[in-house]
Structure 1
Amino acid sequence: MEITKTNHSISPLEKAFQLKEHGTTAKTEIMAGITTFMTMAYILVVNPSILSATGMDFGALFTATALSSLVATLVMALYANLPYALAPAMGPNAFFAFTVVIGMGYSWQTALTAVFLEGILFIILTFFNIREAIVNAIPLTLKKAVSVGIGLFIAFLGLYNSGIVVTGMFHVGDGKLDGVPVAIGHITSGSGLLALIGLAITGILLARKVNGALLLGILTTTLIGIPMGVTQLPESLKFISAPPSLNPILFQFDFSNIFSTEMLIVLFTFLFVDMFDTVGTLVGVATKANMLDEKGNVPKAKEALFADAIGTTFGAIIGTSTVTTYVESASGVAAGGRTGLTALSTACMFAIALFLSPLFIMIPSAATAPALILVGLFMMSPVKEIDFDNFTDAIPAFLTILIMPLTYSISEGIMFGMISYVLLKVATNKHKEISPLLYVLTALFLLKIALG
C-alpha cells in the first residue's frame, strides 16, 4: 500500500521531467522558461524584418517564426528534456535574405528549398552521428571567427537598416563614383535618431542586467517612435487577434536550381553556420549550468541536435530560415532552469505570442536595430579565444571576420577563411592540422572562384 501511495504522490511534471533528480522545482523551471523567452522574443520582430527584405509577407513570417520556435522548443522539452529554446537563427536569416536572394539573385522560394534540404540532411546526419564528425573537422579558430564575423555583419545590418549609417558613394559623371563606402546618416531626426535612442535605452538595460533587456528596449523604442512619427499605429488598436495566415509562404519550394554549384555552396553555408551555432550553444550553456558529464560531453546531445534538425525542416515548410538553439537559453539556465520544463514554458510563451501579432507587426525597423546591433556584440565574445600570435590561425580568422561585413556576404567570409587556412598551414609544413574533409571543402571553394 505504501508503494502505491508513493507512486500516486508523484506529480505529472516530476514524472515527465525528473525535477528532483535535477535539483529543481516546477516554479523555478517555469520562471526560467519565461526569462528565456523574454531574452529572445526580439526574434519575433527581427526575423520577419530581415526576411521580408526578400519580398516575403511580413505577417506570415511572424507566424512562421513563432510557430517554428514553438515546435522546435517543444521537441527539445519533451524529447531531450533539456532547458534550451530554439528559434530561427540570427546570421542564417541574414545570409538567406541578403546573400542568397538579394546578392545572388535567387528567389526566396529557392532559398527556402535549400533550408528544407539542410533540415533533411541534418536529420540524416544526426541519426548516423555524422554531425559531430563534420564539426570536428573544421578548425576551432575558424568556428570562433565565423561567430565574430556574423556578429559584425548583423550589427552592420542594424546600423544600415535604421539609417544610422548610409552609403557615402555618389555619382560624379561618366558612371564614376566618389566619396566613401559608408558614412554617418541622418541621426538628428527620424529613424536614425530613434535607433540611437533605442540603442542607449537597451544598452542601459543590459548594463543593469534587466531580464528581457532586448525585448524591453524594442517595445520602449517603439513607444517613443509614436510621437516622432516613426512608429505607425494600426488602424485598429486591437492587439489580440488570430495569427496572420501562413498561406503566402507555406510549402513554397523551388527545386529547379538545387544542383547548381552556387546552391551547393549555399547549402553548405547553411549547414556550416547552423552546426556551429547549435553545438557551440549546447556546450556553452551546458558548461554554465554544470550539466556536462564526467567526460565533458553534453548530455543527450543527439536528442538536442534532432530538435534543431526537426525545427529547421518544419520551419522551411512553413516559410522561415534555419532554426537553431539560442544562446539566450543561458539566461533561463542562470535563473535555475535545468530540465525540459524550462523549454516547455518558453514554448508556451511563443504560443501566446502567436495571438499578439498586431503588437509585434507595428514595431518599426528603427526599434529592432538596437537589438541587431547588440546581438552582434553578443556574438563577438569568441574573438578573445583566437590566438592572434599564431599567424597561421590569426590570418584566416581575421580574413573571415573582416570579409563578412565588408562584402555583405557570410559565405565569402567563410570561403576566404578556409582557403587561407589551408594555404598557410601547407606552406608552413603544418598540414597535419588539416583534416581531409577540409581539403575537400577548400577544393569546392576554389572551384566556385574559378567558375565565377
Structure 2
Amino acid sequence: MLEKMFHLKEHNTNVRTEVLAGVTTFLAMAYILAVNPSILGNVMDANGVFLATAIASAIATTIMALWANYPIALSAGLGLNAYFAFTVCLQELADVENAFEICLTAVLLEGLIFIAISVFKVREQIINGIPHNLKSGISAGIGLFVAFIGLQGAGIVVNSDSTLVDLGDFASPQVALALVGFLIIVILSYYKIPGAVLIGIIGTWILGMIAQTTGWYVVDDAHASLFPDFSQGLVNFAGLKKTAFHFNFGWVSHNVVQFIAIVFSFLFVDLFDTVGTVVGVADKAGLLDKDGKLPRVGKVFMADAVGTTVGACLGTSTITSFVESSAGVAAGGRTGLTALTTAGMFVLSLFLSPIFLAIPGFATAPALIYVGMLMITSVKKIEFDGDVADSAGAYMAILMMPLTYSIANGIMFGIITWVVVKVFEKKAKDISPIMWVIFGLFVLRILTLVTNFR
C-alpha cells in the first residue's frame, strides 16, 4: 500500500528510511512549537497558539505528503510570526483592541489569495521560470542560511555591537555539545550509519541532560530544563476557544488601505520564502527534472495555501514550507512518507508536548549545520565561467540570504541582479514574461521599504 501511494522504489528509498527522515525533520523544526507561542503569546493566548500551530502544521504537511508526495514539512514561518506580533499588533495597531484578530484576518485573506493563484498555476510559473543557475544559487544560499540558524541557535555565533557577529563562549555546554553533535553526525555519515542526523540530535540532547545533572548546564531564567516536564498535564484544548475564528472584518471595512499593506507584506515574504525553500530542498533531494523544474509544484503550493488558511482559522500566523525539511532529506527522505511521518509527529506532539519541547535548540543545531554543508554543494552547479548575469545573480542570492537573514531577500537581490545585467548585456529577449513580473514585484517591494524607512 505504501509503495503504491509513495512510489518508494522509484525514489530508491524504503519505509524505514522515510520514517527516520520524517522524525528527523520534525525534531529539526520542533522548536517552532515553543517559539511560535512565545512570540505570538505577546498578543494572544499562547496555549491556543501552540494547539493551532501543531494542528495546522499536521494538516498542511499531510496534504503535502498525500497529494504532492514530497518530503517537505510545513509550519508557522519564522519572521512572519514576528512581523505579526511585534510590527503589526504592537506597533502599527497598538491602539486597536485585540489587534491579533486583524492579523488573523490578513493571514486568512493571504491564504485564500494563494489558493486562487495556485489554482491558476501562477506560483508554479514563478518557480519553473527561475533560471537554473539562480536555482542552484538559491539552494546554496539556503544552505548557508540554515547553517547560520544552527550556529546562532547553539550560541556558536553571537551578536557583537562592533562587528555584528562574533564567536560564542566555548566554555558553555550549548556551544561545546553542539559542536560535538555535529562531529557525531559527520562521522556516522562517513560510515553510512542509517539515521545519522537523528542519532546526532538525540545524542546531543542526552549529553545535555547529563550536563544538567552534573551542574555544567545550569537551569535559570534564560535556560530551560532539558528534562521533560509533565507537571502541567499533556494537553488542554480549551486554549483554541481564545484563538480559533477570531476575525475582525469590521475594522477591515473601515481601514482598507492599511489592511491591504499588511496583507501584501505577508504575501510577499511567504511567496518567495516558499519558492526558495521548495527549490532548495527539491534540488538537494534530486527531485528537479533535467530542465531544473519541479514536477507537481502546483500541489506543493496548494498545501502551503491551504495550511495558511487553516492556520488562520485556528489562530496562528502564516503556515509555510520549512527549510528544516532539508534535515530529513539529508537523512534519506525522498517521498511524501517522510512528510506524513512528520505530520504524525505533530499530532503526537499535542499529547506529548513536554517531551518534544524539552529538546533544546543546541541539540537540533548540529543537524542544521550539517544540512547547510550538504546544501552549499549546489554551488558546484553554477556556471561561473558562463553568462555573467547567471553567475552574478546566483552570487547575490548566496550572499544576501544569510547576511540579511531572509530567503526572500536573497531571491530578490539575485533576480534583480540577473534581470538588470541581462538588459545591459542586450539580452533582454532571454528574460521571460514571468521573470519581468517577478522583477516588477521586487522593485515595488524595494519602493515600499524605502517609503517605510523614510
Corresponding residue SS for 1:42: helix
Aligned to 1:242: 235
Question: How much has 1:186 moved relative to structure 2?
Answer: 0.8
Aligned to 1:144: 136
Deviations 1:239-275 (A, max 9, x none): 9823676536545668664422x75254223112213
1:35 aligns with one of 20, 24, 28 = 20
Is 1:404 the equivalent of 2:401?
yes
Aligned to 1:371: 367
Distance 1:421 1:156, change over 3 A: same
Is 1:95 the equivalent of 2:83?
no
Deviations 1:381-425 (A, max 9, x none): 432222222321222222222123223344433332232222211
Distance 2:337 2:170 in 1: 44
Aligned to 2:39: 54
Corresponding residue SS for 1:182: strand
Aligned to 1:201: 184
After TM superposition, list the pairs within 5 Å mapping 1:34-433 onto structure 2.
34-51=19-36, 54-56=39-41, 63-78=51-66, 80=67, 83-88=69-74, 93-97=77-81, 109=100, 115-169=107-161, 179-226=162-209, 227=213, 228-230=216-218, 232-233=225-226, 236=229, 241-242=234-235, 247=240, 250-251=244-245, 257-260=258-261, 264-278=264-278, 281=281, 287=287, 302-318=298-314, 319-324=316-321, 326-327=325-326, 330=329, 344=340, 347-389=343-385, 390-433=387-430
Distance 1:164 1:128, change over 3 A: same
Answer whether contact 1:49 1:58 (CA < 8 A) is retained: no
Distance 2:163 2:338 in 1: 49
Distance 1:168 1:37, change over 3 A: same
Deviations 1:196-250 (A, max 9, x none): 2332333334444444433332332222222332561568557982367653654
Task: Give the TM-score, by structure 1 length.
Answer: 0.74
Distance 1:184 1:245, change over 3 A: farther
Runs of at least 5 residues in structure 2 that lack an aligned partner in the other structure: 94-98, 219-223
Question: How much has 1:430 moved relative to structure 2?
Answer: 1.4
Corresponding residue SS for 1:84: coil
Aligned to 1:440: 440
Distance 1:413 1:371 in 2: 22
Aligned to 1:4: none
Distance 1:220 1:239 in 2: 26
Corresponding residue SS for 2:137: helix
Deviations 1:311-345 (A, max 9, x none): 2322343325433384566579x68x87x777655
Question: How much has 1:358 moved relative to structure 2?
Answer: 0.6
Structure 1 stretch displaced more, 317-326 or 276-285: 276-285
Q: Which has the larger radius of gyration?
A: 1
Distance 2:201 2:307 in 1: 26
Question: How much has 1:359 moved relative to structure 2?
Answer: 0.6
Distance 2:293 2:307 in 1: 23
Which residue type is aligned with residue 93 of structure 1? G
Which residue type is aligned with residue 196 of structure 1? L
Distance 2:370 2:8 in 1: 33
Answer whether contact 1:118 1:270 (CA < 8 A) is retained: no
Answer whether contact 2:136 2:382 (CA < 8 A) is retained: yes
Distance 2:343 2:277 in 1: 20
Distance 2:420 2:9 in 1: 51
Distance 1:445 1:232 in 2: 42
Corresponding residue SS for 1:167: strand
Which residue type is aligned with residue 407 of structure 1? T
Which residue type is aligned with residue 271 of structure 1? L
Corresponding residue SS for 2:73: strand
Please report the RMSD computed on the Cα atoms of aligned residues, expressed in angstroms.
4.1
Distance 1:266 1:393, change over 3 A: farther
Corresponding residue SS for 1:270: helix
Task: Give the TM-score, by structure 2 length.
Answer: 0.73
Runs of at least 5 residues in structure 1 that lack an aligned partner in the other structure: 1-12, 170-178
Corresponding residue SS for 1:94: coil
Distance 2:238 2:17 in 1: 31
Answer whether contact 1:239 1:356 (CA < 8 A) is retained: no
Distance 1:98 1:33, change over 3 A: same
Distance 1:234 1:42, change over 3 A: closer
